[in-house]
Amino acid sequence: MSEELNNQNEQVGQSVNDYLGGAPDISMPDIPMPDPEPEEIVKEVKDKIDTAFKFAFVGAGQGGSRIAETFHTLGYRKVCVMNTAQQDLNTIKLDNKLCIGTGGAGKDRDYAKKVFAEKKEDVIDFMRYSFGETLDRVFVCAGAGGGTGSGTVAPLVHAAKQLQETVQSNSKKVGVILALPKYSEGKKVNANSHDCLKEVYDLVDEGIVSPLVVIDNERIGKVYPNLVVSNFWETSNMSMAGLFHLFNLTAARDSSYTSFDSSDYKSILDSGLMVFGAAPVKDWADPVSISRAVRDNFNRGVLSGGIDLSSGDTAGAIVVGGKEQLDNIPQSSLDQAFDQLCKMLKPGNVVHRGIYSGDKPNLVVYSAVGGLARPTAKLDELKKLGDLI
């Protein structure tokens, strides 16, 4: 009786197994299947330089790509560029390049926005692959006058912000480096620049963008009036990128005199619209000449026009001098120069100071002014040049 019961249980169990899937439902034909997409491995990207912050740069359009390329020449490696035209990417000497369109945007901002919207997720993946998992802040670099750069800068900011959140960046804000055209580039270009600058500054007001760094090519043409055609864009981009890098570099260095540290630089980077400037001190033995150099920074050395520098509420001033200069200049002369900068800014401002010994026999005052008000004069100027009024 027991053996018969066991045989019945085995038969029932086999029937249940067959019902639950012991036998296949269908016999599959041999259908050719495509190979799976190879998984893109995010690699660690290390800069060639030792700086206070690990910044990443994405260039949009031809102008923005050139700016990003300039940072790569300085040793930054978290760098990539994108464009709607492959032809414009061919001249950029970088490995990480992405074409998201065909034939360019033809100065059409709306078309560029549309193309970007269709490729947004691809762009985010591209940036993550190019930057790696460790970064402090993404900077979107763009030319304000063209189609691709001008049209994609704002959506790129939002994409970069999303990426920063994904990799848990230390910054909640995205930086923008925006190049404004020369007046002679035409009405359409100046109109694009007006709309682009206004759009990006609105993001500053919303607390999404900081800093906004403006490269004013019309202004740079006046600061360096004898530039030949072949060197203009390189000098224009390096004049800003070099100063940007100098502050990031010194913020990671000890000083035998007075240090400008990473917290000082971060407070300026978080302040909104900012500008850089530099002024050499020729007659450094004259105690007044250093204060005069600070004033020249405002009047002639700053690389952006149409911005009210007196509205700035935070700044950094770094003095770099050779051994002979720093061995002979009284501390009081430098203090007077720093005080001069304080008096030229908004009441209640904060000026972070730094004094460093350099490897050249000269004395130079470098400045970074932040917390600046909306560039109304520049917007009005571009509006008029673009026939928008």
Instruction: Please check the confidence at residue 170 and state whether its pLDDT lies above 50.
Output: yes
Residue 360's φ and ψ, nearest 5 degrees, are -120, 145
The Cα 103–Cα 111 span in angstroms is: 12
Instruction: Please check the confidence at residue 280 and state whether its pLDDT lies above 90.
Output: no
* 5-14, 317-326, 344-353, 368-377: segment of lowest average pLDDT: 5-14
Residue 81 lies in a domain: yes
Instruction: Please check the confidence at residue 244 and state whether its pLDDT lies above 70.
Output: yes
229 & 341 share domain: no
187 & 283 share domain: no
Sequence letter at residue 365: V
pLDDT band at 217 (very low <50, low <70, confident <90, very high): confident
Are the C-beta atoms of 146 and 189 separated by less than 8 Å?
yes
* 4-18, 64-78, 104-118, 163-177: segment of lowest average pLDDT: 4-18
pLDDT of amino acid 340: 87
Angle between helices 148-166 and 109-131 (to 10 degrees): 40
Most confident of the ranges 61-75, 226-240, 327-341:
61-75
Residue 348: which domain range?
Answer: 269-372
pLDDT of amino acid 110: 93
234 & 178 share domain: yes
pLDDT band at 369 (very low <50, low <70, confident <90, very high): very high
Higher pLDDT, 306 or 94: 94
216 & 273 share domain: no
pLDDT of amino acid 299: 66
pLDDT of amino acid 321: 94
Residue 27 lies in a domain: no
Residue 141's φ and ψ, nearest 5 degrees, are -105, 130
Instruction: Please check the confidence at residue 22 and state whether its pLDDT lies above 70.
Output: no
Mean predicted confidence (pLDDT) in 65-94 = 95
240 & 189 share domain: yes
pLDDT more than 70, % of the chain:
87
130 & 245 share domain: yes
pLDDT band at 125 (very low <50, low <70, confident <90, very high): very high
Domain boundary among 250, 282, 306: 250
232 & 282 share domain: no
pLDDT band at 167 (very low <50, low <70, confident <90, very high): very high
pLDDT band at 19 (very low <50, low <70, confident <90, very high): very low
289 & 349 share domain: yes
Question: What CATH number is attached to the domain comprising 296?
Answer: 3.30.1330.20
Instruction: Please check the confidence at residue 32 and state whether its pLDDT lies above 70.
Output: no
Instruction: Please check the confidence at residue 293 and state whether its pLDDT lies above 90.
Output: no
**pTM, entire model:** 0.86
**Sign of the dihedral defined by the CA atoms of residues 47, 126, 202, 114, in that order:** positive
Instruction: Please check the confidence at residue 303 and state whether its pLDDT lies above 80.
Output: no
99 & 202 share domain: yes
pLDDT of amino acid 16: 44
Instruction: Please check the confidence at residue 365 and state whether its pLDDT lies above 70.
Output: yes
The Cα 348–Cα 316 span in angstroms is: 15
The Cα 356–Cα 358 span in angstroms is: 6
pLDDT of amino acid 41: 57
The Cα 320–Cα 336 span in angstroms is: 16
Instruction: Please check the confidence at residue 377 and state whether its pLDDT lies above 70.
Output: yes
pLDDT of amino acid 194: 96
pLDDT of amino acid 320: 95
pLDDT band at 28 (very low <50, low <70, confident <90, very high): low
